[in-house]
Amino acid sequence: MIGIGGTTIEEELTAIQPIVSFAKPIQKKEFQERIDKACQLMQEQNVPALYLHSGKNLFYFTGMKWNASERMVGALLFPNGTLLYIAPEFEKGTIFDFMLIKGSVHGWEEHESPYQLFITLLK
């Protein structure tokens, strides 16, 4: 049976091409552009720092895929573009492995408070 477009259902189904191969991963340049834009807005609005928690926020700005857990993993972004990653000390090597946008990594030991490290880095 010929349809409205002059072809059969079978011809149309055969002509379908997967388009997922056309999707390109976000490149490092775009992550850096996002950081630059955030820094510009932070400067304009006098925001002293932005915390990027593991998960969607950290990935959006840095490209680092790290699932949120009970342990603090994230990054502090400052208006001048400085990026400080925060993670448990035992995860520092893995942070370096997953890091796309460079920054220093600051670790805390299990007996220490990650929040105290956070406050120290903000100072």
Ramachandran angles phi, psi of 86, nearest 5° = -125, 130
Q: What is the pLDDT of residue 9?
A: 84
**Domains assigned to the chain:** 26-122 (3.40.350.10)
pLDDT, one tens digit per residue, over 83-101 is 999 999 999 999 999 999 9
Distance CA 83, CA 111 (A): 25
Q: Report percent pLDDT > 70 for the chain.
A: 97
For the stretch 25-54, pLDDT in tens is 899 999 999 999 999 999 999 999 999 999
- Give the pLDDT confidence score for residue 1 in this predicted structure: 66
Helix (H) or strand (E) holding 97: helix 92-98
Q: Residue 12 corresponds to which amino acid? A: E
Check pLDDT > 70 for residue 10. yes
